[in-house]
Amino acid sequence: MNKTVLIVKHEFLRTVKRKGFVIMTLAFPMIALLAIGIYQIVQGIDTSPAPDEEVTIGYVDKIDLFEGYTEQPGGITFIAYRTEEEATSALLTEDISEYFIIPLDYVSTGVVIRYTSEKELEPPDETQWAMKSFLLSNLLEGQASPEIAERVKSPMWLSSIRLDETGEVATDQGGFGAFIVPLLFGFLLIMAIFSSSGYLLQGLGEEKENRIMEILLSSVSARQLLTGKVLGLGAAGLVQVVIWLLSAVFLVQWVSTTIGGVLSTLQIPDNLLILGIVYFILGYLFFAVLMAGIGAIGATARESQQMSMLFLMPAWIPFWVLFFITRNPNHVINTVLTMIPVTAPTMVFIRLGTSGIPTWELVLSISLLVAAIIGALVLAAKAFRVFLLMYGKTPRLGEIIRRLREA
Amino acid sequence: MPAVELNNICKSYNDNLVVNNVSFTVAQGEIFGLIGPNGAGKTTTIRMVMDITKPDSGEINVLGESLSEDTKNRIGYLPEERGLYKKLTVLESLTYLASLKGIKPRLVNSRAEGLLERVGMLPHKEKKIEELSRGMGQIIQFLVTIIHGPQLVVLDEPFAGLDPVNTELLKEIILELRNQGKAIILSTHMMNEVEALCDRILMIDKGRTILYGELAEIKLRYRNNSIFLEFDGMLGEIEGVVGKRDYGTYVELFLDEETPPRKILEQLVNRGVSVNRFEVSTPSLNEIFLQVVKEE
């Protein structure tokens, strides 16, 4: 059997047998299932008042404008008090659950002051809606028909539909449901790339620390060792990402059809799986080759991992600027981050969920990533030749650059 | 055809010449000692033989050709800096590393078990490397070196860290390999080990060759021309003896250039001196090394 294939097989099996790999591979589907379970439980818990539960809210109207419409849907009743003291004692005796004051300058300022004995993050939606309805109904009394008054309360239920190039309703409708899935995939992709290239880094570090490197190099060339390791660990990473992608596809389809709610809006863009595989392979190769070079240079696995942060941290930049990207989907910075090999794999997924990516940008991004892989391969091969058998001390940056130039 | 042939090899690191114009050959069926103090350039020379490091200049032929993947499969190498995968079992380690030497998987198991039996470690075959003692680990590394039946065996400091029992075991196997016609390069700074095993040697210091040739011939060249004598009776004047050093229980007699030790023994027997020990003094390699370095 070809020696490179032997190394691929050895590295693949060594990685997939690691406890950490198995746990991480299964963790995503398990956590996703758990999250769905929790979501269903939370959905099942109805926090709004029971239908037969009456809620009484007091108010002090200082401008004598709000008398009618004291019975609001949802069993909420408003009771008027003449003074704040009366309302407060009613609250303390639990005749009312809360009260609010409509001050003299309400019409000009809109300010309403609410008092409650409950500790809460913000006023319940039902209470706010009932108060708003009560105020609006009284304000519009005699000014508009009951139908108009109702519409003023809820002037718009926006339904936005995206058309494709032919004018037909597009299958990918965008929005939260279309955004969250690629974002999740981008996150998983970067996790898979990092964990696989992390194993590569750890493996190389261990081999240097265990002093087995020279035994390997007496049987195979540095090129065969580099290729075997990158492909073996890449195959393990691919298995991981395929399991994640397939379980994500299954889970998204399942929750969107059976559970409903916000989950029913989840969509998987058509090209996500293809781009997922392409960017995983290219992204992994790029980072793996970089990590292999760093692993060859570092004296120990720990030192190599510290050095690798220099390249791994920038890969998170698209997540750091996520808010900016979603607010400015067509900004030039998005195109730039799509072209930079370190950020491209994550950036592509984020943009798939927001604005989509023109074909020329994808072609250029993939071409640049391929060029970067070739460049990294040349440097990593040099690093393998120069530093692989250097033990004891990690060289300084100046020495690394000088020796790579000389190699 | 020599197993290894090096011609005028030079290698520098950072303008520091670590191997300076070194040449030697190693024949099939001999144990060749590559000796010198720490930092002499032994490991760099061996790495160049193994094609792990490229020479700056010079020519290297191994088993009659420049080193290729096929040639690598016919060499066994035990590096000075060595180790194994700690999480693999003994058998898995032997299997994987033998397969990288081109051995078919179906052959590996029987060979591995045969070798493990030879060194008395068959019961440990399913143990993980991390569960073995350091000495046991070193024996497994040695087995990795020879499992594929190499024609050339290169051993860099093979006895370092081994206890006397395992040292003897390794020596036995090395001699067996020599008797099977394998070429063996033994690199070490422990010169007494070389004296016990090697047929020829190359002694290097600061990257330069300082001695090269048959071990017996070198020892003869640097002999002290003295004998150690333990006796009963009176010695008196002995023809050919130019000096004497008394060590209490025995004496060292220094001979002139023309007198062979045999002549002294004849005179002692003729005088009726009872000889309990008669030993021709030969300098150790260590002494020869010190002498050569001093002369230079």
Please indicate whether residue A51 or residue B56 has the higher confidence score (pLDDT).
Answer: B56
For residue range B18-73, list pLDDT tens digits in order: 999 999 999 999 999 998 888 889 989 998 998 888 899 999 999 888 877 788 88
Q: How confident is the model at residue A281 (pLDDT cuts 50, 70, 90)?
A: confident
| Cβ neighbours of A216 in B, within 8 Å | 100
DSSP-derived 3-state class of residue A270? coil
Question: Which whole number is the average pLDDT over A149-159?
Answer: 78
> Can you give the pLDDT at residue B89?
92
For residue range A359-400, list pLDDT tens digits in order: 898 999 999 999 999 998 888 888 887 777 676 677 777 777
> Do B133 and B265 share a domain, yes or no?
no
Contact A216 B50 (CB under 8 A): no
Q: Rounded mean pLDDT of chain B?
A: 88
DSSP string, B185-252: EEEES-HHHHHHH-SEEEEEETTEEEEEEEHHHHHHHT---EEEEEEES-----TTEEEEEE-SS-EE
- What's the rounded Cα separation, in Å, for the pair A283 and A344? 8
Contact B101 A215 (CB under 8 A): no
> Do B183 and B234 share a domain, yes or no?
no
- What's the rounded Cα separation, in Å, for the pair A66 and A59? 10
Question: Which whole number is the average pLDDT over A222-229?
Answer: 86
Residue B287 lies in a domain: no
> Can you give the pLDDT at residue A177?
63
Residue in A closest to B51 by C-alpha: A218
> Do B25 and B143 share a domain, yes or no?
yes
Contact B50 A218 (CB under 8 A): yes
> Do B193 and B265 share a domain, yes or no?
no
Tokens of B88: 């693999």
Please indicate whether residue A184 or residue B89 has the higher confidence score (pLDDT).
Answer: B89
The percent of residues above 90 in pLDDT, for chain A, comes to: 7
CATH fit for domain A55-153, picks 1.10.10, 3.90.640, 3.40.190, 1.10.3470:
3.40.190
**What are the residues facing B154 on neighbouring strands?**
B77, B185
Please indicate whether residue B58 or residue A126 has the higher confidence score (pLDDT).
Answer: B58
| Cβ neighbours of B83 in A, within 8 Å | 209-212, 215
Neighbouring residues of A175: CB distance < 8 A, sequence distance ≥ 6 = A160, A265
Q: How far is A215 from chain B (nearest CA, A)?
A: 7
Phi-psi region of A354 (alpha: psi -120 to 50; beta: other; left: phi over 0): alpha
Q: Which of B195, B219, B243 is the last residue of a domain?
A: B219
| Cβ neighbours of B87 in A, within 8 Å | 14
If you search the block for the tokens 């510290």, which residue do you land on?
A: A306
CB A207 within 8 A of CB A216: yes
pLDDT tops 60 at residue B194: yes
> Do B142 and B14 share a domain, yes or no?
yes
| Cβ neighbours of B99 in A, within 8 Å | 1, 6
Report the Cα B242 to chain-centroid distance in Å: 36
Q: How confident is the model at residue B185 (pLDDT cuts 50, 70, 90)?
A: very high
Q: Is B141 in CB contact (< 8 Å) with chain A? A: yes
Residue B293 lies in a domain: no
Residue B286 lies in a domain: no
CB nearest to B100's CB, from A3, A206, A211: A3
pLDDT tops 70 at residue A52: no
Total of domains in chain B: 2
Residue B153 lies in a domain: yes
Residue B122 lies in a domain: yes
Q: Is A216 in CB contact (< 8 Å) with chain B? A: yes
Contact A214 B72 (CB under 8 A): no
Tokens of A297: 């240079």
CB nearest to B144's CB, from A3, A10, A215: A215
Instruction: Out of A184-198, B10-24, B163-177, pick the least confident.
Output: A184-198
CATH of the domain at B269: 3.30.70.100
Best of B50, B52, B132, B134 to mutate (most A CBs within 10 Å, chain A): B52
Question: Which whole number is the average pLDDT over A97-116?
Answer: 89
Residue B180 lies in a domain: yes
For residue range A69-101, list pLDDT tens digits in order: 888 887 888 988 988 888 899 889 888 889 999
Q: Is B89 in CB contact (< 8 Å) with chain A? A: no
Residue in B closest to A209 by C-alpha: B83
Instruction: Out of A136-145, A339-348, A380-389, B24-33, pick the least confident.
Output: A380-389
Q: Which of B201, B219, B237 is the last residue of a domain?
A: B219
Does this complex have an ipTM over 0.90?
no
Please indicate whether residue A193 or residue B28 has the higher confidence score (pLDDT).
Answer: B28
> Can you give the pLDDT at residue B45?
93
Continuous H helices in A154-221 = 175-209, 213-217
Decide: pTM greater than 0.90: no
Tokens of A35: 């999250």
Q: Is A145 in CB contact (< 8 Å) with chain B? A: no
The radius of gyration of chain A from alpha carbons, rounded to an integer in Å, stands at 31
Q: How far is A399 from chain B (nearest CA, A)?
A: 10
Instruction: Out of A295-304, A341-350, B60-69, B234-243, pick the least confident.
Output: A295-304
Domain enclosing residue B275, as ranges? 225-280
CB A84 within 8 A of CB A60: yes
CB nearest to A219's CB, from B83, B87, B100: B100
Q: How far is B265 from chain A (nearest CA, A)?
A: 53
Q: How confident is the model at residue B10 (pLDDT cuts 50, 70, 90)?
A: very high
> Can you give the pLDDT at residue A264?
59
> Do B22 and B105 share a domain, yes or no?
yes
Residue B260 lies in a domain: yes
Q: Is B50 in CB contact (< 8 Å) with chain A? A: yes
Best of B15, B53, B69, B100 to mutate (most A CBs within 10 Å, chain A): B100
Q: How far is A219 from chain B (nearest CA, A)?
A: 6
CATH of the domain at B98: 3.40.50.300
φ and ψ at residue B280, rounded to 5 degrees: -75, 125
> Do B52 and B198 share a domain, yes or no?
yes
> Do B181 and B251 share a domain, yes or no?
no
Q: How confident is the model at residue B77 (pLDDT cuts 50, 70, 90)?
A: very high
Q: How confident is the model at residue A142 (pLDDT cuts 50, 70, 90)?
A: confident
Residue B130 lies in a domain: yes
Q: Where in chain A is the domain with CATH 3.40.190?
A: 55-153
Instruction: Out of A221-225, B92-96, B119-123, pick the least confident.
Output: A221-225
